[in-house]
Amino acid sequence: MPPHPETWLKVLPEGLFCEPGGFFIDPPGPVPRAIITHAHADHARPGHGAVLASPETMALMDVRMGEGRSGAQRQVLPYGEPITLDGVRVWLQPAGHVLGSAQVAMEWQGSRAVVSGDYKRVADPTCMGFEPIACDVFVTEATFGLPVFRHPPALGEAARLLDSVRLFPERTHVIGCYALGKCQRLIALLRQAGWDGPIHLHGALIPLCQAYERMGIPLGELRPATVAAKAELAGAIVLAPPSAIADRWARRLADPVVCLASGWMRVRQRAKAKGIELPLVISDHADWDELCATLTEVDAPEIWVTHGREEALIHAAEQQGRRGRALRLVGYGDEDDAGVEAVPGETALGGKVVA
Amino acid sequence: MIAFAELLERLTLTPGRLAKIALLRRFFETEPDPDRGIGLAALTGELAFDAAKPALIRQLAESRTDPVLFAWSYDYVGDLAETVALMWPERRVNAPPPLLMEVVQSLATTPKSELGALVAGWLDASPAPVRLAILKLITGGLRVGASVRIAKIALAELSGGRIAADDIEEVWHGLSPPYTELFAWLEGRGDKPDPAGAPVFRPPMLAHPLEVQDLAVLDYARYVAEWKWDGIRVQLVSTPGGRRLYSRGSEDISAAFPEIVEAMTFDAVLDGELLVLRDGPDGVVVAPFADLQQRLNRKAPTGRMMQQFPVGIRLYDMLFEADEDLRPLPFDARRRRLEDWFARAAPARMDLSELIDVPDLPALSVLRDGARAASIEGLMLKRRDSPYVPGRPKGLWWKWKRDPLTIDAVLMYAQRGHGKRSSFYSDYTFGLWRQLEGGSEELVPVGKAYSGFTDAELAMLDRWIRNHTTARFGPVREVAHGRDAGIVLEIAFDAAQRSTRHKSGVALRFPRVSRLRTDKPPAEADRLDILIRLLEGEATIAI
């Protein structure tokens, strides 16, 4: 009988550890050997010994941390190409979260575990879609693990934004969005919804947009918002990190309509508390229905939840007849939830950015 | 219903008045009859349903959701209707979301036993924002922060400038949902609706604040003065078609003051001040505003409240006597009509506001300075030949408020403002020194101020607050405040009143920042005792 994954995939103080393979997955601090699911700051930390990631994730880490800062030895692994690390067969599969995001699939002595990283199930023009893998243990996130979180079609949210731009043509629409992934997806959505004019960007968003374009994701005409004249910004769409939209930086804008693109915006009270005038429910995380459907699709008898609202998802898993376990990994958050009230001087990228 | 749901969400989250008007205007422009009129009624609080209550919503939730997940979700969201709207299990049904008219009509006519199934069917056919709008409509909790006045301004814009919001005001209370004749009039497809004897509200005439530069140039012989009473301005409308008591903002407050409505046994439209009046040894005594506040907080008073806080009207003006519109007449003529009518009608619970002759500025100043008593805010000056003009016409009526009181207080907490001020710390909680047992002193918060400073002062305060933050509680920052650290604000206010809700025991009326006292060390700010000595209600004035 193959060994149960809990005998070889363990939660250590340093993070989730594959013991026979000798590697950590998304460790919150430097380790000798790490596999990184995606380039968000809470999953991708600098300074590892050896680091393995998808080519896109590696490129994005270089942009965020500085060339070569992610680890001393860096190895890229394209999706679907298995390698063997000390007897553990490992491959990456698209997770649909952001460009380059991957699930880490591991097989050891006939037992298979999949670590999803962060993921979503709806189509995203800026990254490959999630591909489910049948497994014995599925390690999932649960950021939006409550049934109140059900994201509406993202294109409809982009259309609501454009409708508001038409209604208030003299005002700037400033949209708070996380710099990696959300920003580029929102731009692509606006293009799909018919906005072919320029989109203005806060300085912190520019390097990652350039990286996306280098990797073949066209974003259309982008302009720096910081140098634009106030008159130019009347009627403009400006994207900025959530921490900037209601703070001093935003004073340069023309009577701004403050918007935030985030799955949290589903709850009106959260929008109100943050002073958001137009909430856009756009998330790069699976919503409740997607989480539950994914558990059914991968059909693992056992579900481990890394972070988020684990109790509700475990409750749902148990109702499907699966065993649920909360890993309570510390250090992961939701990138949007850094919040509008971030400390001045800190960027929305968690202060770890070279941008 | 989709457009209405979107409108509700945006109105709830939009701080700006102009933006709210634009949102409403577009809704009225693009939605067809009768839905736009029903939406208008819902927003202005004209709709109420008795049958559907929160219990029904809770039952629906229990029938369709997992109880454990519901409990966690409710705990997270914190609002019953929103929780149910968000977590309602979506099923594909072959039906569009209901129309607003359909929802409103069905709610009024469906027997209680069938209501659950009806509402569940609507929720099945609707996306989340519409589900929320339906549930909020049912429970009467729209709370969008858009006043009736804003809705009327948006309606007036539909006419392309032909019709003013005040014109709508004059017919408003004679109309009923779905207001098709109103929309027809606004869009030039029909005549002005005729209220035909209905007790409609007439927009009141308001006064300009008197500035120093005006004082020197006024021709006092042309004016008459009155006390400016510190109650609420009301309009009494009594016609064969009904009796209504309206606030200055056209809100029907009849139900809150039944004893006034009972006393309106006449056919006239009157302008006056609603006050708590008590019999004293030397005549009727006006109670401080805090007493009236007790009554204003209630939709319908208990017998005990009516006894404890008896209200009356001090009459200022007469707009109609029976069918005769007196508004074009000069003030003097209207006043004579009011006095003659009052002598004949002798209405209960009402008296006339006393007129004061003003020979010149010195006499007026003496009067105003003497008006330090409770329940008088200052003086009104009315030009003898002024017709009753809705709105705030220039040069006819003036209000000359008594000088505000001031204290020097220490800034303790700051919070960001809204809308244009959302990046500025513009809401200030300030405190005064209080002696503790053992002789040391502590600062105790006494109020909040949001206005009175210039843009430059706001920028300076914002910078200072960011650089001197000592703690954060959500959106609130605590700033350095102590004997040697902190910033002193001179706070102006109209009156101090006892309050059990404030730690200091005192509440200020209309506090605002009058000056930044960067020259003053916090240790020299005022003591709480000063405020306590100023408390109103300790000394009332008999008229």
Name the token pair of B307. 């006894």
Determine, yes or no, domain membership for A193: yes
Where chain A has pLDDT below 50, the residues are 338-355
Which position has the higher pLDDT, B209 or B182?
A: B182
Determine, yes or no, domain membership for A354: no
Q: Is the peptide bond before A242 cis (omega within 30 degrees of 0)?
A: no
Q: Would you give the distance in Å from CA A342 to the centre of its chain?
A: 19
Range with the lowest mean pLDDT among A99-103, A205-209, B206-210, B255-259?
B206-210
Record: contact B79-A275, CB cut-off 8 A:
no
Q: A90 and A39 share a domain?
A: yes
pLDDT of residue B197: 82
- Any idea which residue has 């958050």 for tokens? A333
Determine, yes or no, domain membership for A347: no
Q: Which CATH number fits the domain that encloses residue A134? A: 3.60.15.10
Determine, yes or no, domain membership for A267: yes
Enumerate the residues of chain B whose CB falls inside 8 A of the CB of residue A275. 15, 416, 418, 422
Record: contact A309-B466, CB cut-off 8 A:
no
Which position has the higher pLDDT, B173 or A187?
A: A187
Candidates A157, A172, A265, A268, partner chain B, best to mutate (most B CBs within 10 A): A268
Task: Indicate the residue of A247, A272, A273 with minimum beta-carbon distance to B12.
Answer: A272
CA torsion angle A227 A232 A233 A239 (round to 10): -60
Closest residue in A to B474 (Cα–Cα): A341
pLDDT of residue A337: 56
3-state SS, residue A235 = coil
Closest residue in B to A313 (Cα–Cα): B69
The residues, any chain, with a CB within 8 Å of residue A353's CB and separated by 6 or more, are A41, A64, A179, A204, A347
pLDDT of residue B371: 67
Candidates B29, B64, B72, B157, partner chain A, best to mutate (most A CBs within 10 A): B72
What CA–CA distance (Å, rounded) separates B127 from B118? 16
Record: contact A147-B22, CB cut-off 8 A:
no
Select the highest-mean-pLDDT range: B252-266, B388-402, B463-477. B252-266
Tally of domains within chain A: 2
CA-wise closest residue to B356 among B220, B195, B510: B220
Q: Which domain holds residue A101?
A: 5-148+284-338
What CA–CA distance (Å, rounded) separates B283 from B279? 6
Residues 291-330 of A with CB under 8 A from B: 309, 311-312, 315-316, 319
pLDDT of residue B539: 41
The CA-atom distances, in angstroms, between B34 and each of A164, B18, B96, B323 are 25, 25, 18, 33
Record: contact B86-A150, CB cut-off 8 A:
yes
What CA–CA distance (Å, rounded) separates B92 from A154? 19
A166: burial class by Cβ within 10 Å (0-12, 13-18, 19+)?
A: exposed
3-state SS, residue B535 = coil
Q: A176 and A251 share a domain?
A: yes
3-state SS, residue B352 = strand
For chain B, domain boundaries: 2-139, 208-401, 405-533
Q: Any long-range contacts for B152-158 (C-beta under 8 Å, 24+ apart)? A: B153/B21, B154/B20, B154/B21, B154/B22, B154/B24, B154/B25, B154/B28, B155/B24, B155/B28, B155/B40, B155/B182, B155/B186, B156/B186, B157/B21, B157/B25, B158/B25, B158/B28, B158/B29, B158/B183, B158/B186, B158/B187
Beta bridge partners of B406: B492
* ipTM of the modeled complex: 0.90
3-state SS, residue B496 = strand
Q: A141 and A288 share a domain?
A: yes
Is the distance from CB of B2 to CB of B97 less than 8 angstroms?
yes
Enumerate the residues of chain B whose CB falls inside 8 A of the CB of residue A270. none
- Mean per-residue pLDDT of chain B: 89
Q: How do residues B55-84 score in pLDDT, each as one tens digit? A: 888 888 989 999 999 999 999 888 899 999
Give the pLDDT mean for B360-379. Answer: 79
Task: Examine the fold and report which residue of A238, A258, A280 is the final residue of a domain before the chain moves on.
Answer: A280
CA-wise closest residue to B61 among A266, A147, A286, A293: A147
Give the pLDDT mean for B520-536. Answer: 85
Task: Indicate the residue of B14, B23, B83 with minimum beta-carbon distance to A148.
Answer: B83
Half-sphere exposure of B108 (CA within 13 A, CB side): 8
What CA–CA distance (Å, rounded) separates B500 from B496? 13
pLDDT of residue B95: 87
pLDDT of residue B540: 36
CATH annotation of B208-401: 3.30.470.30
A230 touches B at CB < 8 Å: no
The number of C-beta contacts closer than 8 angstroms across A and B is 90
What CA–CA distance (Å, rounded) separates A320 from A293? 11
Task: Examine the fold and report which residue of A240, A259, A280 is the final residue of a domain before the chain moves on.
Answer: A280
Q: A59 and A137 share a domain?
A: yes
Determine, yes or no, domain membership for A38: yes
- The fold of B405-533 is OB fold (Dihydrolipoamide Acetyltransferase, E2P) (2.40.50)
Q: A200 and A292 share a domain?
A: no
Enumerate the residues of chain B whose CB falls inside 8 A of the CB of residue A277. 10, 13-15, 19
pLDDT of residue B51: 61
Q: How do residues A17-53 score in pLDDT, each as one tens digit? A: 999 999 999 999 999 999 999 999 999 999 999 999 9
Give the pLDDT mean for B13-36. Answer: 94
Record: contact B423-A312, CB cut-off 8 A:
no
Which position has the higher pLDDT, B358 or B342?
A: B342
What CA–CA distance (Å, rounded) separates B339 from B232? 22
Q: A135 and A28 share a domain?
A: yes
Q: A141 and A254 share a domain?
A: no
Q: A227 and A273 share a domain?
A: yes
A227: burial class by Cβ within 10 Å (0-12, 13-18, 19+)?
A: exposed
Is the distance from CB of B278 to CB of B270 less than 8 angstroms?
no
- Any idea which residue has 């002005």 for tokens? B192
Q: A137 and A14 share a domain?
A: yes
CATH annotation of B2-139: 1.10.3260.10
Give the pLDDT mean for B174-192. Answer: 95
pLDDT of residue B100: 93
Closest residue in B to A287 (Cα–Cα): B87
**Residues of chain B in Cβ contact (below 8 Å) with chain A:** 6, 9-10, 12-16, 19, 22-23, 26, 65-66, 68-69, 72-73, 76-79, 82-83, 86-87, 89-90, 127-128, 132, 416, 418, 420, 422-423, 466, 474-475
pLDDT at B210 over 50: yes
Determine, yes or no, domain membership for A93: yes
Q: Which CATH number fits the domain that encloses residue A181? A: 3.40.50
pLDDT of residue B249: 84
Task: Examine the fold and report which residue of A259, A280, A301 is the final residue of a domain before the chain moves on.
Answer: A280
Q: A14 and A123 share a domain?
A: yes
pLDDT at B541 over 60: no
Give the pLDDT mean for B182-189. Answer: 96
Q: A125 and A9 share a domain?
A: yes
- Any idea which residue has 């008896």 for tokens? B310
Q: A119 and A172 share a domain?
A: no
Enumerate the residues of chain B whose CB falls inside 8 A of the CB of residue A309. 72, 76
pLDDT of residue B543: 30
